[in-house]
Chain A
Amino acid sequence: QSVLTQPPSASGTPGQRVTISCSGSSSNIGSNTVNWYQQLPGTAPKLLIYSNNQRPSGVPDRFSGSKSGTSASLAISGLQSEDEADYYCAAWDDSLNGRWVFGGGTKLTVL
């Protein structure tokens, strides 16, 4: 059972906009920033969004992040076939002397 809750799956057709949610609590998302990672099949994760809504250099602006209270969302607009991957949210958690926590991951399928 992951500390951060994500839907196990999401899907969309090319060109569509999809969102992936991440729900936490006051000790993690509620008091710290949220980060998102993309893991393409057979590869290491890659940073997609940091500090709630910041994109690293090289990440297309089709990807955007937001946070409200104890929840966060990743939005992907203009969905492309190469976006098919697993997506994870992560945040620092202030409980238990401090720890990092991940969501369980969302598998995005491009139909």
Chain B
Amino acid sequence: EVQLVESGGVVVQPGGSLRLSCAASGFTFDDYAMHWVRQAPGKGLEWVSLISWDGGSTYYADSVKGRFTISRDNSKNSLYLQMNSLRAEDTALYYCAKDANYGSGSYVDYWGQGTLVTVSS
């Protein structure tokens, strides 16, 4: 059974930094690309970032480019999102999600339960 468990969400001040983690199990982690997708309170889904199976290719939404960095450690079956220069509009539930393929333009087939990031003074 595929399991994705996010952690690291907290309340942080504007301008601060945070690292989210996602522990994956139930599948061969280094065979698949992984995503971060977020959902602001009461709002729709917003794709944040994607990393290929080997970490060699990364993609970002314009809203986070230059501030967020996605990475993975295949030896630990873990996905990360380093978030810097946080803004109030980054407040959201952040989902870790598994892609159905190893590269880029496939689709998300499994989602975690999310970790809540609140940016507030």
Contact = CB atoms under 8 A, between A and B. Distances in A.
Query: Do A and B actually bind?
Result: yes
Interface string A75-105: 0000000000010101010001111111111
A103 B15 CA distance: 29
Interface stretch (A16-24, A40-48, A66-74): A40-48
A102 B47 contact: yes
B59 A88 contact: no
A101 B109 contact: no
Contacts of B107: 33, 35, 47, 50-51, 90
A99 B45 contact: no
B18 interface: no
Nearest to A2: B44
A37 interface: yes
Interface of B is mostly: strand
Interface residues of A, number: 27
B100 A45 contact: no
Contact of B44 (A46, A47, A96, A104): A104
Interface in B70-121: 95, 100, 104-114
B10 interface: no
B61 interface: yes
B109 A50 contact: yes
In the A-B complex, the 3 residue pairs with the smallest Cβ-Cβ separation, listed nearest first, are A92-B105, A100-B47, A105-B44
